[in-house]
Amino acid sequence: MKMKGKMCFRFGILVFVGLLWLTSCAAPTPTPPPVTPTSTATLQHPTATAPLPASPTATPNIPPKASPTPEPPLPTVIRPRYTISAALDYGRKTLAISEQVEIPHPGDSPDNIVLVVQPNWYPGVFDLGTLAWGDGVPVEAYSLEGIRLTIPLDSPWQAGETRTISMTYSLSLPPVERGDEFGPNPFGYTNRQVNLTDWHPFVPPFINGEWVAHTPWFYGEHLVYPLADYTVEIQLANAPDSTVIAASGLDRGEGDIHRYQMEATRTFVWSVSPEYRVYRQQVGDVTILGYGFPFDAIGGEAAFQTTVEAFEFYNQQFGPYPHESLSMVQADFNHGMEYNGLYFLSRAFYNTYDGSAATYLVAIAAHETSHQWWFGMVGNDQALEPWLDEAFATFSERLFYENLHPEALDWWLAYRVNYYEPQGLIDGNIYDYGGYRPYRDAVYLNGMNFLTALRAAIGEDVFTAFLQDYLTRESGKIATADDFFAILSEHSDADIGNLLVQYFR
């Protein structure tokens, strides 16, 4: 576990002098020794009243003052709302960020708020400047331990009341290749790319009386995201003129300000490079974008076209995609990852692309694209029930090949699945499996085998109707296996007892 609570004393004064700050506070100079989180006397008065450049979209919703009437205050937000201003010094790989988060009452009565601060998992990356309530009063006695920023409430949280937290912080990005102990993750920088994934403190879901903030693990994803709304403003400095931002949403900024608005999304991520070649295609109302490196142009074109093809197919097969864009980004490292509105595709697959659909570049692009439905729309607890997105994404690959590239289906079955002789119960959590290979083989591959067997058991038409109904009813939520089987039982009374024995604990 890591403890962090360092203060950047100049932050309060200089925060929106922006680049001045970047060259002082966040430069890789020796950092002062950590100050314990309870040393609130050192907190500067927050700058919460002016955290953002003037913007028509940046007007914060201020919770109503306590009223003499017994009526609870009206909620100002129905899901967490982030208003973030980020200045990236591309050359130094540092960011100065101000963030306001409005949090609706979670429906139960917590005595604290937990924000997930994934960047704090990496040593020397996250540096908290100021932390205050929406009215500007500094937060007292918070703690930042591992990825959990725990904020005790200063007064009881009434049902229907929105709480607002404002903070300033800096990030000194780590290299993406930072050792196996942190597991593969796109967050950080390479020689040609900066990736901001799980980059800002966020509100996890509050389920069964607890904020869901699982411990990071060596493989698999551990974070659980409720839907949230975002307004993000990004400014770049110290970057070549050719620098391009890929993001979960479309850039509606002007001049040097890049402005994004995204509603009902689980994540907002972005990736920056001076080398991106950009692909763009409209599919109905949705803009599909691809970002790749020129030296892999052939693979980049194929990955982009696969994304477009798979997107159109899933949109019709599962249900309509709810956002205005989807970006595919070539990872400058050997792993991929899905986020809402953007996914990374491992560069390793570009090298092996041979011009046919019988290749990992195509299979994995189809897989990652499907996560917009099985992760982005139907959410799940990725740590405790990873089969609910990964088995579905791998099964979506199968559907992609069966319907669009039947000539490559045998290759896919032989080399993506059966070569590994997948086995293992599919409903373990990410901490259960004792290694990436047993985890992947059970959750992804055998999970796909289960869905294939279920389709055979209940019939293809029933299965397709069930899948669409499951998507519709669980979209925007965090689905569980119980939800899956409850909805399934409404579509079929086929005896699947043998499948449950074969695939489930």
Q: What share of the chain is helix, strand, coil (3-state, %, to 5)?
A: 30, 25, 45
Q: Least distance from C-beta 41 to Zn ion, angstroms?
A: 47
Whichever of 164 and 429 has its CB closer to Zn ion, that residue is 429
**Range in contact with Zn ion (rule: CB under 5 A) among 36-44, 220-228, 322-330, 385-393:** 385-393
Contacts for 108 with CB less than 8 Å, ≥ 6 apart: 206, 209
Give the span between the Cα atoms of 270 and 199, in whole angstroms. 9
Angle between helices 447-458 and 387-404 (to 10 degrees): 60
Whichever of 113 and 393 has its CB closer to Zn ion, that residue is 393
**Range in contact with Zn ion (rule: CB under 5 A) among 148-156, 160-168, 388-396, 399-407:** 388-396
Whichever of 129 and 447 has its CB closer to Zn ion, that residue is 447
Span 393-432, contacts to Zn ion by CB under 5 A:
393
Q: Least distance from C-beta 64 to Zn ion, angstroms?
A: 43
Contacts for 66 with CB less than 8 Å, ≥ 6 apart: 73
Give the span between the Cα atoms of 375 and 491, in whole angstroms. 23
Q: Least distance from C-beta 440 to Zn ion, angstroms?
A: 10
Exposure class string for 319-344: b at 16+ Cβ within 10 A, else e: bebbbebbbbbbbbbebbbbbbbbbb
Give the span between the Cα atoms of 212 and 114, in whole angstroms. 9
Structure tokens at 353: 């692309």
Residue closest to Zn ion when measured from CB atoms: 393
Phi, psi dihedral angles at 65 (to 5 degrees): -65, 155
Count the residues of the shown chain that bind Zn ion, applying the rule CB under 5 A: 2
Whichever of 308 and 364 has its CB closer to Zn ion, that residue is 364
Q: Least distance from C-beta 395 to Zn ion, angstroms?
A: 11
Asked if 188 and 175 touch (Cβ cutoff 8 Å), the reply is yes
Q: Least distance from C-beta 371 to Zn ion, angstroms?
A: 6
CA 221 from chain centre, in angstroms, equals 10
x/- letters, 341..380, toward Zn ion (CB under 5 A): ----------------------------------------
Whichever of 232 and 365 has its CB closer to Zn ion, that residue is 365
Q: How many CA atoms lie within 13 A of 144 on its CB side?
A: 27
Whichever of 133 and 373 has its CB closer to Zn ion, that residue is 373
**Residue 410, number of CB atoms within 10 A of its CB:** 11
Give the span between the Cα atoms of 273 and 292, in whole angstroms. 10
Q: Least distance from C-beta 207 to Zn ion, angstroms?
A: 22
Q: Least distance from C-beta 213 to Zn ion, angstroms?
A: 21
Q: Least distance from C-beta 269 to Zn ion, angstroms?
A: 15
**Range in contact with Zn ion (rule: CB under 5 A) among 175-183, 387-395, 398-406, 483-491:** 387-395
Q: Least distance from C-beta 372 to Zn ion, angstroms?
A: 11
Whichever of 87 and 393 has its CB closer to Zn ion, that residue is 393
Q: Select from 51, 54, 39, 50 the least CA-distant residue to 9.
A: 39
Whichever of 304 and 373 has its CB closer to Zn ion, that residue is 373
**Range in contact with Zn ion (rule: CB under 5 A) among 77-85, 173-181, 392-400, 421-429:** 392-400
Whichever of 273 and 370 has its CB closer to Zn ion, that residue is 370
User: Is residue 310 close enough to count as binding Zn ion by CB under 5 A?
Assistant: no
CA 160 from chain centre, in angstroms, equals 27
Q: Which residues contact Zn ion (rule: CB under 5 A)?
A: 390, 393
